[in-house]
Amino acid sequence: METENKEKDLQSEEIVEEKDVSPEKEEKSKKEKKNKHKEQIDALEKEIKELKDKLLRNAAELDNFKKRMTQERINDRKYASKNLVHDILEPLDQLDKIVNIQTDDATLKNFLYGFKMINDKFYQVLITDGLKEIDALNKQFDPKYHYAIEKESHKDKPNGINLEVIQKGYTYKDQLLRPAMVKVNEWSDENGKDE
């Protein structure tokens, strides 16, 4: 019995010692746990911010992609016949030169008159579809719409004026289809010589 009492006393002393030490340890461990939880919360909040940012960026990128694809589809439909119109222009230009030949033969004039009507109808269809001739004769040279293949010097005309249109240029809807090939006036008073 005595040994049992001694054991009980020893156990109660240990419990008292644990109770004396444990509030400090307990408070320290609580602070450590609290700091760990706070760090975890901060890390999770940071991760949430990053994920939200990625989500917003992806949503914006997807929206821009949709807009770009819609615009490309619209442009594809709008300019679908651009290549065909470009390829038809050369034979039509040749036909235009032929029907505008001056002749005294009455039979040939009748044929040319009929062909001219067909030629004009072709151009009318293309103009309705969006073809527009570039007005280049006696206009200031514009490298966006004109292609200079020759230059001459006429001091009585302004510098940089298109003197002659060698081949007509065209735009299709709002895009350049073919630049006008022109002869440009270019001169200089420097040293009394032409450039």
pLDDT tens track for 160-180: 889 999 999 999 988 999 999
**Out of 2.60.40.10, 1.10.3720.10, 3.40.50.720, 2.30.22.10, which CATH number does the structure's domain 83-192 have?**
2.30.22.10
Domain ranges of the chain: 1-78, 83-192
Which pLDDT score is estimated for 36?
Answer: 87
- E strand residue ranges, the chain: 131-133, 146-152, 162-167, 170-172, 175-178, 180-185
Mean pLDDT, residues 21-33: 75
pLDDT of 124 higher than 90? yes
Over the Cα atoms of the chain, what is R_g? 44
And the tokens for 14? 């240990």
Q: What is the pTM of this model?
A: 0.62
Compute how many other C-beta atoms are within 10 angstroms of the C-beta atom of residue 131: 22
Mean pLDDT, residues 92-117: 88
Compute how many other C-beta atoms are within 10 angstroms of the C-beta atom of residue 177: 19
Percentage with pLDDT > 70 across the chain: 85
15-29, 44-58, 85-99, 130-144: least confidently modelled range: 15-29
Question: What are residue 170's DSSP bridge partners?
Answer: 133, 178
